[in-house]
Chain A
Amino acid sequence: MTRRILIVDDDHEMVRTLRDIFHLRGWDTGEAYSGEEAIDAQQTQGFDRVIMDIKMPGIGGLAARQALHRQFPQLPIILMTAQRPADLDAGDAPVIAKPIDLPALFTMLDS
């Protein structure tokens, strides 16, 4: 069964490159460009995983992650940031820094 991941970032090229890489790795992908869109997409399409940028217009990644977590407690969500991950208070959610160490990301997703 093909795994499905929702890619959320306000940077369209970031979303596009990640989408293509995930496709190469055999994932189905969904795309969202804001926190609101991400919640909407998850509610309507029900992805297995979410990878979401933190700094976005609107409610932002951290608030969207909290909302999703309340509705889908089992849904694994990975946050991305251009800031230093250590400086963020993201609760127990894993946070990865941009540029993304992709081999490490796939290892994380496989586990």
Chain B
Amino acid sequence: MGLLSRRSIRTKAPLAAVVLILLVVATLSTAAFVVLRRTLHEHAAERLRTLSEQFGQSFMTNLAASRARITAVSKRPEVIGFLDRPRSPAAPAATAALAPTGPQPEQTLRTELRDRDGRRLLEASASPEAERILAAGYDSDWPALAAAASDSDSGTAFGKLKQSSDVIFFPSAAVVPGHPDSYVVIWRRLESNTQSRAQLAKILGSEASFSFGNVDATAWSESGTPVQAPPAGAPGQVFEFRQAGGQSRLGIQGPIDGTPWAYSLSFPSHVVEAPARSFMWTMSSIAAGSVVVGGFLAWLVSRRFVMPVEELTGAADAIARGEIGSRVAIRREDELGRLAGAFNAMASEVETTRKLLEAAVEKGTGELKNAQESLARRERLAIIGHLASSVGHEIRNPLGVMANAVFYLESIQPDAPPEVRQYLGILRRQIALSTKIVNDLLDLSRTSPTHRQDVSVGHLLSEQLQKHGSRVTVEADIPHDIPRVAVDPVHAGQVLDNLLSNAIQAINGQPGIVRIRARATGDGYVRVEVSDTGPGIPLEHTSKIFEPLFTTKARGIGLGLALSRSLAQANGGDVALVSAPDESATFAFILPVAGGHV
């Protein structure tokens, strides 16, 4: 079963069809064979009965002729005359009268004249061969024969068949008229009669056999040749028996009236059954043909069913291997066609779901990456801040001393030469610049928590614009109904300060405009865009500008944008570059709207 279950339907269906065809053909053939055989047997039996009647009649005719011949001998005057005067000189004439007559005289072994006790009074035609055949002991049945002849109406009787080596012979007896104790006895041998055999073969077929012998089966003959007696059957009934050689035969038997003999007529069963066998052969050929044709048709049909299923299996395997776009062609509208349609629909669904899932994973991964980068940036900023705080603190002290010294010198030398005053001015400005750098650095050491408050965007911006003065033209587009935001005003101020400083530096003293535009995004944020008319940011820098310590400026330590983004994110917002590479730069500062919208 396990082996069968692994086999393809393509194999199993034709196999089942072949088995079915074989079963049907075998059953029908067997049934037909049985019926046919019975019919053939019935026909054969009928024929046997008819034949046995014909043979019986012909036999009786022959017997009657034999009776007539022996009666004629017994009535010869020479014979009667001899009996009337025994020991008369009429004996030689009587012996001559006993000489065989009729057809096949050579079959007559000996003709005798006997008394009731079996004593031979006269005998004739005893050839040496006949004497050899009629050896001692052949005559044991005499009293029964004599009695039968005396009791019969015709005064004649036939004795049992005798066998001496390969010769079958028998006696017939007739009572001599007027001498009830005297009998004429003729011993005849049975000769093989080719003519009658040919006749028999013509009627029955060459395989047929007709035999007869003693009812007690002591001797039996077929066409004059000794044979073994066939098994006894009910008289006149057709029956099947097995011959000594193993051959099965169909036969009929019966006693021959007025004799101690019985006949047997038979022919081989295989002759009778030949049409049935021929039928079986034909049926076998038909079965073989049906098996081939049926098997082929079943294969064709199963292939038609199995192929779409195999195609489906292939597509399913392909999808399992990851070829998610695999589909099956729909070439039919039956159940298999609908199955293919359903499969394609399912595969599409799987593909869509997988794409959604991949997109979700990608998005999640991206967000995670951003979060990681943000965290890394903040850690880096914290380390830089910590370092800056320590260094800044140490530098501010000497800067303070230097500033004091310059202040003192300027105070005590109001009338100093211009060069001295100029150089003191240079010192003062450089000290101020150094102080600013240190202050910027110290902003990174911000450890104070974020104090978010409800503040006005316009107010935050105007504070920073005042600080930067009127060095450049600034166009501010801030709607009066812009929502208030929830940020630490100091932090937001630092971010705006940084963005404005960058924008102003980008213009770099050339004629240009800084544009500020604020809008509510509609989803809980205010977006403040700061644009300049400078050369913009090259593509290769766009991914680095928010990294700490990245700068393109001759002066600067590259902390402004990193710090701005860190501060903006700490306040629930963000800072991003929104212009394309090499176009005048626009930075967007996203701030969360006040009132718990986010």
Contact = CB atoms under 8 A, between A and B. Distances in A.
Contacts of A84: 439, 442-443, 445
A24 B401 contact: no
Contact of B400 (A24, A86, A100): A100
The residue in B389, B402, B404, B445 that gathers the most chain A C-beta atoms within 10 A of its C-beta is B404
Given A24-B412, A99-B435, A82 B404 contact: no
Nearest to A83: B393
Contacts of A55: 393
B452 interface: no
A5 to B, nearest CB: 14
Interface in A7-29: 11, 13-14, 17-18, 20-21, 24
Given A21-B407, A24-B412, A102-B407, A87 B397 contact: no
B130 interface: no
Nearest to B432: A99
Interface residues of B, number: 27
Nearest to A103: B407
Contacts of A67: none
Interface in B435-468: 435, 439, 442-443, 445-448
B396 A21 contact: no
Given A83-B389, A99-B402, A17 B397 contact: no
B442 A99 contact: no
Interface residues of A, number: 20
B404 A14 contact: yes
A82 B397 contact: yes
A99 B400 contact: yes
B474 interface: no
A8 to B, nearest CB: 14
Interface string A67-109: 0000000000000101110110000000001111010000000
Contact of A82 (B400, B411, B443, B447): B400
Contacts of A14: 397, 400-401, 404
B147 interface: no
A82 B401 contact: no
A98 B397 contact: yes
A4 to B, nearest CB: 20
B405 interface: yes
A98 B397 CA distance: 6
A103 to B, nearest CB: 9
A88 to B, nearest CB: 10
A87 to B, nearest CB: 6
A24 B408 contact: yes
A2 to B, nearest CB: 18
A109 to B, nearest CB: 15
B306 interface: no
A62 B393 CA distance: 17
Contacts of B392: 82
B204 interface: no
Contact of A100 (B389, B404, B445): B404
A25 B51 CA distance: 174
Contacts of A97: 396
B394 interface: yes
Nearest to B412: A24
Nearest to A100: B400
Interface string B411-431: 110000000000000000001
A87 B392 CA distance: 14
A20 to B, nearest CB: 5
Given A21-B407, A21-B408, A87 B448 contact: yes
A104 B396 CA distance: 18
B399 interface: yes
A99 B393 CA distance: 11
B428 to A, nearest CB: 10
Given A82-B396, A84-B442, A86-B448, A99 B404 contact: yes
Contacts of A17: 401, 404-405, 408
Contact of A18 (B393, B396, B404, B448): B404
Contacts of A13: 401
Interface string B498-525: 0000000000000000000000000000
Interface in B150-181: none
Contacts of A80: 400
Interface of B: 389, 392-394, 396-397, 399-405, 407-408, 411-412, 431, 435, 439, 442-443, 445-448, 490
8 contacts: A14-B404, A17-B404, A21-B411, A55-B393, A83-B389, A86-B490, A97-B396, A99-B396
Given A21-B407, A21-B408, A82-B400, 16 more contacts: A17-B404, A17-B405, A24-B408, A82-B392, A82-B394, A82-B396, A82-B397, A83-B389, A84-B442, A84-B443, A87-B447, A87-B448, A99-B400, A99-B431, A100-B403, A100-B404
A-B pairs, top 5 by smallest CB distance, nearest first, are A98-B400, A17-B404, A99-B403, A82-B396, A99-B400
